[in-house]
Chains A and B, each alone.
Chain A
Amino acid sequence: MYKIAVIGDKNSVLAFKALGIDVFTVTDELETRKTVNTLAKNGYGIIFITEQIARLIPDTISRYDEKVTPAIILIPSNQGTLNIGMERINKNVEKAVGTNIL
């Protein structure tokens, strides 16, 4: 059995706690990297991470892209979306098809 986690700034992700998802609040780059790595090792199947935080650690996230678990999924934070999630979809399309067909 796997667990689900949310990483982000406190104001954005606190609400997820009420749904029974483990919430981890981080502030800086190093802390985020550490949290992502420990979560990946400790049986978390999905890690939701806010785009504001994900922007700081693109290399760590791309490292987990090739693995089946954990799935790292970007979500917008309470300051709105930065469109990084959408860009990742478009990048996938470009990688697979060659051009953006969507």
Chain B
Amino acid sequence: MARLNVNPTRMQLANLKRRLQTATRGHKLLKDKQDELMRQFIELIKKNKKLREEVEKELEEAFKDFLIASAVMSPEMLEEAVAYPKETIMLDIQKKNVMSVHVPVMSFKRKLESDDGSIFPYGFVETSSELDDAISRLYAIMPKLLELAEVEKACQLMADEIEKTRRRVNALEHRTIPDLEETIKYIRMKLDENERSTITRLMKVKDMINK
């Protein structure tokens, strides 16, 4: 603990007291913010982990199917088959404020160009059934993948903010507030000491006059 470098005067004492009050209030607020952020973060990160595990597993399956498809078909044919997608995905991102962290809220619009219900953008004559499998599997994963994107981004942003808040809370708790308290105590002592020395001096003078 280091005492702040200030003059021990009444004015400084008042100043420091005010600062201590602000610091204590700020510390309490930040601590509350940190607790709430942490609670939400833990909820979110658990979801994130679960989602990622699922997505990774399912994606791997889809890739396997696609690999087989690309082995069966010629590469030109494959590229041609997927070149003109029937579906378009548009993404709308809104920001949500969670304890002063701006978290994206994503909503998706998936639109099929024609309404005949098939998701495959190619005819069935020249493509293999493995490709169908791969595409339909990917199609099914999409919502999860998009949700993962939203959750993972939110987690990243919140982790950053939690770290920042924690540093602030710690700085206030272990540095600013003890320093202020110690300095206030020092100034009080000094002022009291001055007062006592004035009184003794006066008594001494009075004694001398009386004699």
Contacts and interface: CB of A to CB of B under 8 A. Distances in A.
Given A48-B145, A69-B104, A97-B38, A20 B88 contact: yes
A95 B167 CA distance: 11
A46 B149 contact: yes
A65 B163 CA distance: 14
The interface centre, meaning the residue of A12, A75, A92, A97 with most chain B CB atoms within 10 A of its CB, is A92
Contacts of A16: 138
A14 B88 CA distance: 16
Contact size range, A: 35 or more
B99 interface: no
Interface in A10-60: 11-12, 14-21, 45-46, 48
The interface centre, meaning the residue of A11, A18, A81, A85 with most chain B CB atoms within 10 A of its CB, is A18
A48 B158 CA distance: 20
B145 A75 contact: yes
B19 interface: no
A20 B121 CA distance: 10
B49 A66 contact: no
Nearest to A17: B82
Contact of B83 (A17, A75, A95): A17
Interface stretch (B21-29, B57-65, B179-187, B190-198): B57-65
Interface of B: 38, 41-42, 45-46, 48-49, 52-53, 55-56, 59-60, 62-64, 66-67, 70, 78-79, 81-83, 85-93, 95, 102-104, 106, 110, 120-122, 134-135, 138-139, 142, 145-146, 148-150, 152-153, 155-160, 162-163
Interface of A: 1-4, 11-12, 14-21, 45-46, 48, 65-66, 68-69, 71, 73, 75-78, 80-81, 85-86, 89, 92-93, 95-97, 101-102
Given A2-B90, A2-B91, A86-B49, 8 more contacts: A16-B138, A66-B160, A68-B102, A71-B104, A78-B66, A89-B49, A95-B160, A95-B163
